[in-house]
Amino acid sequence: MNAATANGGNIIEVHGVSKSYGGVQANTDISINVPYGKITGLIGPNGSGKTTLFNSIVGYHPIDEGSIQFEGREISKLRVPQIARLGMLRTFQQTRIYSKMSCMDNMQISVSQRNRPMTDMFKARDKGAIVERAEQLLEFVGLYQKRLLISGDLSFGQQKLLEFAMALMNEPKVLLLDEPTAGINPTLINGLIDRLKRANEEFGVTLFVIEHNMRVIMNLAEQISCLAHGEMLATGTPDELQNDQRVIDAYLGAH
């Protein structure tokens, strides 16, 4: 942790980022800050460039212009494994779990797969400590009773909870969540919101969340940015964005 983040500054700073695919401009001059230790939201109609921005931040593709900094370090030239080792991970709209393996096996293999420096416990590859941590996190997300089941047999919502727990195994500093409630049974959503808030508060994980469910993001995030047509439309508190005519028009125009 650098001095800026320790003093409550920004852990991620995106300045003037642009990205195009062929002739399609996905992001244009995007600037956004993610405060350390907070939950920040990113909203916008389908096709507004949200996932492209996430992919740029975590190193899935190079940006065309601009700067991306993580804890004050320029990371726009780094790729996924290098950025993961710094402590930034992401989840996906469609889960990426090992569907033919048990939940516990998924949890344990995720440590070696992420390939980033862990605490002394994980550096020593203490099998017992890893198993204990996996069980604790499965309990945290409500999957302890299903820990020995094949993960592919879980419901889609439960698979998302498993992927969340797998990410937490690696003690990330920042976790980027791409539509965490999409496809989840409405009865599970409140529980997921609670666990995201608890992960932020109890584990100190900074969360950056793409979400289409307005009720969810308004209850979850302290600061929200809205993209439209690949450009930054507005940034503010949930109350400010709910009453911003530009944001209202962007959503109404997309439906």
* Predicted confidence (pLDDT) per residue in 124-167, tens digit: 557 788 899 999 999 999 999 999 999 999 988 889 899 999 99
pLDDT in the model for residue 253: 54
Q: Please list the residues that pair with 39 across neighbouring strands.
A: 207
Question: What structural domains does the chain harbor?
Answer: 7-87+174-255 (3.40.50.300), 100-171 (no CATH)
- pLDDT tens for 79-136 read 998 999 899 999 876 778 888 999 999 999 888 655 444 444 455 557 788 899 999 9
Residues 42/221, Cβ–Cβ less than 8 Å? no
From the DSSP assignment, how many helices (H) and strands (E) are in the chain? 11, 10
- pLDDT tens for 31-61 read 999 999 999 999 999 889 999 999 999 999 9
d(CA 38, CA 33): 11
> 197, 198, 254: which is closest to 41 by C-alpha?
197
- pLDDT tens for 183-203 read 888 888 888 899 999 999 999
Helical residues (DSSP H) of 120-185, grouped into ranges: 120-123, 127-140, 156-168
Predicted TM-score (pTM) of this structure = 0.89
